[in-house]
Chain A
Amino acid sequence: MSTSDAAGSAISDAAGSAISTADATRTGAAAGESVEDFRARARVWIRANLRPLEVHEEVGILRVTRTDEEELAAAARERKVQRMLFDNGLAGICFPPEYGGLGLTRAHQLAFNEEIEGYEYPQRIQVPTLTPCAAVLLEFGTEEQKLAHIPAMLKGEEIWMQFLSEPSSGSDVAAALTSAVRDGDDWLLNGSKIWTTGAWWSDWALCLARTNWDVPKHRGLTVFILPLTAHGVDVQRIEMLNGLKEFCQEFMTDVRVPDSDRIGAVDDGWTVGTRWMFHERMASNSPYVTSPGTSAHHRIGPDWLLDIARDAGRLEDPVVRDLIGESRVLDLVGSALQPRLAAGMTTGRLSDQSAAIARLFAGITATQHMTNAFDIVGDRGAAWVEGDGAVFDVGQDFLMRQTATIGGGTTEMARNVISERVLGMPREAALDRGLAFRDVPRGARNS
């Protein structure tokens, strides 16, 4: 009796603090809230305020599941959820309090990740806004820049994009052709960036541009920030083969950027860029990012295959069972591989470049899962109807299979890193080394 009373009052206390004023809550958190107190507070708030996800809500590969209006509504909802998190002392868990964060530890963020699993969360505001963009600002931004943007990010008011890849340079990102030319106290930017996700409803960008063409490629770059609404920025949506229109390309024509929006020193953009890409690679493990352990039903993997096989009526087919077994084996192996690599990199037993092994494994495993799923559904991978259950759209997903081995750095680049940096094999010949960038050979379409 008394035990349950105590538990009851603990819960109502936690709920009470969660709905207290934002400042009071955030001050309390910054004062050193324990992980377990924080977890309890987060749990109560999440369950009271956020919508639980439905099974299979986000399965498949970059599926077209919303109209433009629905996509805008979803982005708006995420901004609102982010604001609610901010107002209730649950946003920016590992960000410094002076920029609106809670100043708590990675352990608090991990607890939050666990608590929010299975609920909606502001997924669009995590990457690239909170990392790498906010992480780069924290490291290289001026005090004014940090104060101007990081609190706005944490409130869901600014969603950021990475202006990094260009039509002429994907893996070779330092070969950027976008130019920035000094004009009084400003810079004029011209060029094109590509593969920004959701730029059509986003606000700001971190941009890598070339400021010096007379030095080798890494030494003539500078990083800027700019609003996507700036005059001269034209955001075009790219239609992917499955009809998805979330990736964008931007065309910049004489976009005026004040020198106060430069990040880091002129021509020292590669110093910033190196850390930028480090934060990007680490995104899934960043303390700045909320990344709920995706429940098994929401990802491409054996659970999904089991559901597909059941809905295709082929669960007893030994060939299908072999495919499910293969995917389950790869999944178990992957979950053993990640901690081994992480531990090995921490202790120095394995090369600090071993993350490339995890990247390669994740890429080829995802493509194998997708192939297995496609083979399980039989001719329902060629044509399907709404009533086909989990089988629906698997054929379309198969067309998008290579997403897993291209996005976020190709598996070819991972293989280069493993062979050259982990195993110490000779590096590929680079014909641009030591050459002034203006003299580096370029493809005819990119000159």
Chain B
Amino acid sequence: MLLELTPDQEVFREATARFLADRVPPDVIRRLRDDPAGFPSGYWSAGAELGWTSLLTREEHGGGSISGSPLVDLSILAHEFGARAAPGPLAAANVVALALSAWGGDAHAETLDAVLSGMSLATCALGEPGVPGEPAGVTVQVRADGGGVVLDGTARPVESAARAAHILVTARVAGTAGFAQVLVPADAAGMTVTPMRSADLTRRFGVVQFEGVRLPAAAVVGEFGEVGEQVERQFQAALALSCAESVGAMQTAFDLTVKWAFERYSFGRPLASYQELKHRFADMKMWLEASHAITDRATAAVDAGAPEAAELVSAAKAYIGDYGAELVQDCVQIHGGIGMTFEHDLHFYLRRVTLNRALHGNPASHRARVTGIFENLKELA
């Protein structure tokens, strides 16, 4: 997270921090393990009032940022979500809000209103990292048919799929190299959602199957067959938020473990006095600061629509995927057996970095993306 928040950003952060501490403290998160939704009723709409859903939308849609850099502001919330292992599809819901506000036009104004107010939950199936502008890992197909469109195929994993009222689906336009985005209502005929098991305690995922799902042309978001750039922008926003959330989780796990190292005594001395452990803490501190730094740099670049954003955000995702997991696993190691129990809080943060490492492309796939971008950059130079 940024080293310096503006006073307004601090007020904004503090409101969500207090809300999360009150509504989803660690014991509640433990109990939510068996809750099909993953969060208590009223939680999401109350969060919407704190600004969880509106930052990435245009002002005429009720958006507007705290600092003038909406994604940076939202990343402060994502960091809090990670630091407290909070429930809710923060990134996915905001990606839909961004998409509907920027490319949805009038046809989706009503849905956007409901998403912003938190009355209605929305999620998305974006695909995986590929060459910027060309979504990868998309198996759902869409074809124009009569006055509407028809979807076939499977998307997985889709966050909060069973709970969401709308799913924004990226699909390949059948028989072409192009892609389209379609907003599918939960009650669309031919769409089924099968709940999945997940590494996280409160974040829920589903397999979404489309079998001849027929929708009016108005369900399309953006230009049919020409959405490479808009999906890339959504993807970048999702990645930046994922990184901010992981860094929050890393920070909490690290702080917990530093405290433990001072309090836990073995052979008459605190763990913090053993050089072997001190040096590992030094490495962890370095990974942590590096993760903060690259996340903030990448988030600012995405927010500004800078040309280097695609590479920076993939660099952040690759680095944090690797070192976030390494850091929290080492925190478990330093805790010993107690760090692997359900009663301890440490696994909340381990789950969060684990989930985020695997979602939206693992470190290797982002390294591949970085290499491609870097190579092109050098060829142009």
Asked whether A37 is an interface residue with its Cβ less than 8 Å from the other chain, the reply is: no
B278's closest neighbor in chain A, by CB?
A419
B255-274 vs A: 1/0 string, CB under 8 Å? 00010011000000110110
- CB < 8 Å: which of A329, A332, A423 contacts B285? A423
Q: Which 9 pairs show the lowest CB-CB distances between chains A and B? A: A325-B367, A419-B278, A418-B282, A415-B282, A336-B297, A325-B371, A336-B293, A340-B293, A426-B273
User: Do A332 and B371 have beta carbons less than 8 Å apart?
Assistant: no
The reply to whether the CB of B102 lies closer than 8 angstroms to some CB of chain A is no
Contacts of A340 in B (CB 8 A): 3, 289, 292-293, 296
B174 lies within 8 A of chain A by Cβ: no
A-B contact pairs, 24 of them (CB 8 A): A302-B374, A306-B378, A325-B366, A325-B369, A325-B370, A325-B371, A326-B367, A328-B311, A328-B367, A328-B371, A329-B315, A332-B294, A333-B315, A336-B293, A336-B298, A337-B289, A337-B294, A339-B293, A356-B282, A357-B285, A422-B285, A423-B282, A423-B285, A425-B281
Which residues in B have some Cβ–Cβ distance to A below 8 Å? 3-4, 258, 261-262, 269-270, 272-273, 275, 278-279, 281-283, 285-286, 289-290, 292-294, 296-298, 311-312, 315-316, 318-319, 364, 366-372, 374-375, 378
Q: Is the CB of B311 within 8 A of A332?
A: yes
Taking a contact as CB atoms closer than 8 A, the residue among A306, A328, A360, A420 that contacts B278 in the complex is A420
Q: Which residues of chain B have C-beta atoms less than 8 A from A140's C-beta? A: none
Which of A69-77, A228-236, A341-349 lies at the binding interface? A341-349
Q: Which A residues are in CB contact (< 8 Å) with B366?
A: 325, 329
Q: Which of B270, B294, B298, B371 contacts A426 (CB 8 A)?
A: B270
Q: Are A347 and B368 in contact (CB under 8 A)?
A: no
The answer to the question of A318 belonging to the interface, with a C-beta cut-off of 8 Å to chain B, is: yes
A214 at the B interface (CB under 8 A): no
Q: Is the CB of A322 within 8 A of B294?
A: no
Main secondary structure on chain B at its contact with chain A? helix
Asked if A425 contacts B261 (CB within 8 A), the reply is yes
Q: How far is the CA of A136 from the CA of B292 in the complex (A)?
A: 36
Query: Which residues of B have CB within 8 Å of A360?
Result: 282-283, 286
Q: Are A428 and B312 in contact (CB under 8 A)?
A: no
Known: A337-B290, A343-B4, A425-B273. 4 other contacts (CB 8 A): A324-B371, A340-B3, A416-B278, A419-B278
A349 cross-chain contacts in B, Cβ below 8 A? 3-4
Q: Report if A40 contacts B (CB, 8 A).
A: no
Size of the A side of the interface (Cβ < 8 Å), in residues, is 43
By beta carbon, the residue of chain B nearest A320 is B371
Q: Which of B269, B278, B366 has the most CB of A within 10 A?
A: B278
The answer to whether A322 and B275 have CB atoms under 8 Å apart is no
How many angstroms between the C-alpha atoms of A162 and B318 in the bound complex?
41
CB-CB under 8 A from B3, the residues of chain A are 340, 343-344, 347, 349-350
Shortest Cβ distance from B10 into chain A, in angstroms? 13
User: Do B370 and A426 touch (CB < 8 A)?
Assistant: no
A322-B364, A336-B296, A425-B281 are known contacts. Are A361 and B286 too (CB-CB below 8 A)?
Answer: yes
A-side contacts of B261, CB under 8 Å: 425
Is A261 positioned at the interface, with any CB of B under 8 Å from its CB?
A: no
Kindly list chain A residues whose C-beta atoms are within 8 Å of the C-beta of B279.
412, 415-416, 419
Contacts of A333 in B (CB 8 A): 290, 293-294, 315-316, 319
- A322 and B289 in contact (CB under 8 A), knowing A306-B375, A347-B4, A428-B275? no
Whole-angstrom CA separation of A339 from B289 in the bound complex: 11
| B289 x A329 contact (CB < 8 A) | no
Contact of A303 with B by CB under 8 A: yes
- Contacting pair A336 B294 (CB below 8 A): yes
**Cβ–Cβ contact B272 & A426, under 8 A:** yes
A343–B292 CA distance with the chains assembled, in angstroms: 13
Query: Which single member of A329, A337, A428 contacts B370 (CB below 8 Å)?
Result: A329
* Contact of B273 with A324 in the complex, beta carbons under 8 Å: no
- With known contacts A415-B283, A426-B270, A357–B374 Cβ distance under 8 A: no
Given the contacts A340-B3, A340-B296, A426-B273, A332 and B367 also touching, CB distance less than 8 Å:
no
Residues A425 and B293 in contact, CB atoms below 8 Å apart: no
A332, A334, A414, A416 — most chain B CB neighbours (10 Å): A332
CA distance in complex: A189, B312 (Å): 55
A-chain residues with CB within 8 Å of residue B290 when the two chains form the complex: 333-334, 336-337, 361
**A430 CB to closest chain B CB, in angstroms?**
12
